[in-house]
Structure 1
Amino acid sequence: MEAYKQFFDFEQAPFSVCPNPKFFYSSRSHAEGLDHLRYGIYEGLGFTMITGEPGTGKTMLLRYFIGQAGEDLKIVHIQDPRMSPKELLRAVLESIEVPRSPQADLTERELAEELQELLLLAQRQTKKVVVLLDEAQGLNFEALEGLRLISNLETDSEKLIHIVLFGQTELEERLRERRLRQFDQRILVRCRLRPLESEEIRPHIEHQLLVGRVDPGTEFPLESTAKIYEISAGLPRMVNVLCERAMMSAFLQDTRKIRVQHVVEGWESLNRIGIL
């Protein structure tokens, strides 16, 4: 709504649910997640797993990491990993800068051999190949087994490929299955993202307002941020949704001071459409 945008005079919507890495807020938990990512990759430990409940910011962390990655990393980002081992191999190959796309009639073994050649080339160029898989809880047994075999591509001294799984906590449960024991044992670096802590709500909100270049007269008093934490339980996605609805309620009342009543009205509007 143009009038709403003009009223708060922002350049970008500050509380979008889209995982725009420009709005990444480094909470304690997300800082830990970044540290685990970097450690797993640069120490060459093969597999890293980042899990969390829906709305904790896994995809935001993933995209922020991609944006911050240096030239020493060759990133392969697979948004929907629900595919067969052969499709997964082809997706990784096609994501790496190759002179030609792998032929559709190549066998799985031939695709793996071609991938190994490319990984050895990347190693000679002192680049690390990192595969980031979002929504990894959707991986079936065959795909997980395919990832395990891909992770076997190595030299005598180091792994040639680094695989990071981002998924909901159901992924942890899946990996406890007996048939996935070998896979589970290979994941040496693990981090579970937590919701924002109560004292992080206000800095998070202020960060979003600043990045979105919202009118500096826009204010979330302490009692409002406390109410937001109470309702959202600190889940970043729900914090953002609540803030956006509260700002809309304040706009309709012609004020830039986001009071508790605006937060409650935003909460009630979300309840009516079954989001909260």
Structure 2
Amino acid sequence: MYQSYYGFTEMPFHITPDPKFLYLSNTHQEALQHLKYGVHEKKGFIVLIGEVGCGKTTLCRKFLSELDPAHYDTALVLNPRVTETQMLKAILTELGEPNLARSKNDLVAQMNQVLLDRIAKGREIVLIIDEAQNLSFEVFEQVRLLSNLETDKQKLLQIVLMGQTELKDRLAAEELRQLRQRILVHYELRPFTRDEMDRYISHRLTVSGSMGRPHFTSWALRRLYKSSRGIPRIINNLCDKSLLSAFIRESDEVNYWDARRAARDLERLTD
């Protein structure tokens, strides 16, 4: 509704993980560098943890877009609520393998051969598992065993586990002590600071084609930060509702009352 009124080329506060809208705060920049370092240095296991809505998936897509497709093959698993066999099939399917073995043992053998063939051709293989806190202990163990696949000189597979803060508790379990010992790169995303949130909102408005309108007042921004706690997804929801409120008033200024109304609407939805 408000897109044409404010002259946006597209909606500024969609919650879809579009890398174009990625704002690299200090914590996101550090997280991206940890991912790059872990993969380029072949560290084997890399863990990225963050609160719900902190931008892990968007950051992941940014990371994937910066891997050279001429050198890297990637597999992204988005649904980790699977059995060991289903996980193996999902990885091979993501890698573009058309004919899959049936049994778990045969799938592991096929995986090993596929990885060896690709390494021999100069490829690097990166597996990313999103929402990894939902993996069963059995699938965690299967993933750990995949990390055993190696030549005399290198691991065949670089594995990135991404998940919510519950992933820390899962990895702390006694059953996963062997996997935990193999995690050489670990980073936890932090929410935005107040200054970062202000720059984030300005960035998204600019990317969407804003020519200076609408304007968020300092009191509106203060209310948005209090309600969002610096979490990008919540900021997006609140800004979208605040813009709608300002549009209804036919105003070029998003004020405190617009932000307060947006916060109360969101609270009613989440109660």
Q: How high is the TM-score relative to the length of structure 2?
A: 0.95
Q: Does 1:154 align with 2:154?
A: no
Q: Does 1:223 align with 2:219?
A: yes
- The one-character-per-residue Cα deviations of 1:160-213 (angstroms, maximum 9, x if unpaired) are 101101101111101111111111111111000000011111110111011112
Find the counterpart in structure 2 of residue 67 from structure 1: 65
Residues in 1 aligned to 2:192 and 2:34: alpha-carbon distance in whole angstroms: 18
From 39, 42, 45, the counterpart of 1:44? 42
Tell me, yes or no, if the aligned pair for 2:224 and 2:263 is still in contact at 8 Å: no
From 130, 143, 146, the counterpart of 1:134? 130
Find the counterpart in structure 1 of residue 99 from structure 2: 101
SS at match of 2:253: coil
How many angstroms does 1:18 deviate by?
A: 1.4
- The one-character-per-residue Cα deviations of 1:3-37 (angstroms, maximum 9, x if unpaired) are x2221221221111111121111011111110110
Find the counterpart in structure 1 of residue 25 from structure 2: 27
How many angstroms does 1:54 deviate by?
A: 0.9
Find the counterpart in structure 1 of residue 56 from structure 2: 58
- The one-character-per-residue Cα deviations of 1:218-251 (angstroms, maximum 9, x if unpaired) are 2123332222112211111111111111101100
Find the counterpart in structure 2 of residue 9 from structure 1: 7
SS at match of 1:241: helix
Residues in 1 aligned to 2:56 and 2:213: alpha-carbon distance in whole angstroms: 31
Residues in 1 aligned to 2:55 and 2:119: alpha-carbon distance in whole angstroms: 32
Tell me, yes or no, if the aligned pair for 1:93 and 1:101 is still in contact at 8 Å: no
Tell me, yes or no, if the aligned pair for 1:74 and 1:130 is still in contact at 8 Å: yes
What is the aligned-residue identity percentage? 36
Residues in 2 aligned to 1:87 and 1:271: alpha-carbon distance in whole angstroms: 38
How many angstroms does 1:215 deviate by?
A: 4.4
Find the counterpart in structure 2 of residue 89 from structure 1: 88
Residues paired across the two proteins, number? 270
- The one-character-per-residue Cα deviations of 1:81-128 (angstroms, maximum 9, x if unpaired) are 111111111111111133x3214x3x2222112111211222123221
Tell me, yes or no, if the aligned pair for 1:50 and 1:167 is still in contact at 8 Å: yes
Residues in 2 aligned to 1:225 and 1:128: alpha-carbon distance in whole angstroms: 44
Find the counterpart in structure 1 of residue 265 from structure 2: 269
- The one-character-per-residue Cα deviations of 1:139-172 (angstroms, maximum 9, x if unpaired) are 0001000000111111111111011011011111
Find the counterpart in structure 2 of residue 259 from structure 1: 255
Residues in 2 aligned to 1:253 and 1:272: alpha-carbon distance in whole angstroms: 22
Q: How high is the TM-score relative to the length of structure 1?
A: 0.94
Find the counterpart in structure 2 of residue 245 from structure 1: 241
Q: What is the alpha-carbon root mean square deviation over aligned residues?
A: 1.4
From 164, 167, 174, the counterpart of 2:170? 174
Find the counterpart in structure 2 of residue 123 from structure 1: 119
Tell me, yes or no, if the aligned pair for 1:82 and 1:143 is still in contact at 8 Å: no
Tell me, yes or no, if the aligned pair for 2:36 and 2:63 is still in contact at 8 Å: no
SS at match of 1:180: helix
Find the counterpart in structure 2 of residue 186 from structure 1: 182
The runs of at least 4 consecutive aligned structure 1 residues that moved more than 4 Å come to none
Residues in 1 aligned to 2:10 and 2:132: alpha-carbon distance in whole angstroms: 30
Find the counterpart in structure 2 of residue 79 from structure 1: 78
How many angstroms does 1:67 deviate by?
A: 2.2
